[in-house]
Amino acid sequence: MPVPDSRREKLVVEKSLPDIRLDQFLREKFPAVSRGVFKRLIEEGHARVNGKMVKATHTPRAGEEIEIHWPETRPAEAQPEEMPLDILFEDDALLVLNKPAGLVVHPSAGHDEHTLVNALLHHCHGSLSGIGGVARPGIVHRLDKETSGCLVVAKNDETHLALSKQFAERVVEKIYNAIVCGETVRDSGEIRAAIARHPSHRKRMAVSDDDSGRAAHTKWRVLERLTGATLVEAYIFTGRTHQIRVHFQFLGYPLAGDQTYGARQNKRLEEVSGYEAPRVMLHARVLSFTHPGTGKKLKFESPLPKDFRGGLKRLRLVGDSK
Instruction: Quote the DSSP letter at residue 230.
Output: E
Separation of alpha carbons 22 and 18, rounded Å: 10
Residue 144 annotated among the catalytic residues of the structure: yes
CA angle at 43 for the pair 40 and 49, rounded to the nearest 5°? 110
Choice among 144, 157, 209, 258 that is catalytic: 144
Half-sphere exposure (Cβ direction) of 28: Cα atoms closer than 13 Å: 13
Cβ contacts of 6 within 8 Å, gap of 6 or more: 157, 158
What is the phi/psi pair of residue 246, to 5°?
-70, -40
In this structure, the dihedral spanned by the alpha carbons of residues 112, 94, 305 and 33, taken in order and rounded to 10 degrees, is: 50
- Helical H segments across the chain, by residue range: 22-29, 35-43, 116-123, 157-168, 243-251, 259-273, 306-321
Cβ contacts of 94 within 8 Å, gap of 6 or more: 152, 153, 154, 155, 159, 163, 291, 292
Active site residues: 144
